[in-house]
Amino acid sequence: MTLDPTSNFILFLLLGVCILLLGLNVWLAIRTFSRSLDTETDTRAANNRAKELLCELLDENELRQLKESRYLDVASPSYAQRIYRIPLEEGMVSVYEGGAPVLRLCVQPISALPRHDVIAMHKLMIEGNEREYLALANAFPPAASGPGPLTAPRATHD
């Protein structure tokens, strides 16, 4: 079977297009893979910086509580018997008054942040402007039970 010159040209053109598309797919795959490695490295670096910042922000007792209990208790600057319990892992902030859970609060940053930055955000907002923090938060009934005994954190006054 012989093909005329036009058919040969069309086959050659189709073969060239296929090779070009294959090359484009390989290029996109390499580019995507290298970008995911960069993103993973950037995420790891951001998490490390966030952890370092939180370690500078917290005192020795707060750091110990966060590591051992996996939550941070923050005393309310406005209500004498109120404690905010910020979880180390994802989850809502539990509010205790007189040692009893009264509600849970959900405050999330607009864009994704490392978890240790979110913990710092909660602590700084509560201590810096508790009224605005409460106004921003979505409130929910308390959970059936919380982790660990309630301990009053040391009040800090400047």
* Domain boundaries of the chain, sorted by first residue: 58-140
Q: Tell me, what's the pLDDT at 36?
A: 54
What CA–CA distances, in Å, run from 71 to 29, 32, 75, 118, 145?
41, 37, 13, 12, 14
Tens of pLDDT along the chain (158 residues) come to 666 777 778 877 788 877 887 877 777 776 666 655 566 778 888 899 999 999 999 999 999 999 999 999 999 999 999 999 999 999 999 999 999 999 999 998 888 899 999 999 999 999 999 999 999 999 999 987 555 555 555 554 44
Q: Which residues pair with 74 in a beta bridge?
A: 84
Dihedral through CA 112, CA 117, CA 123, CA 128, nearest 10? -80
DSSP, residue by residue, 114-135: -HHHHHHHHHHHHHHHHHHHHH
Residue type, 145: S
Residue type, 107: V
Is residue 112 within 8 A of residue 150, CB to CB? The reply is: no
Q: Tell me, what's the pLDDT at 101?
A: 95
Q: Tell me, what's the pLDDT at 34?
A: 60
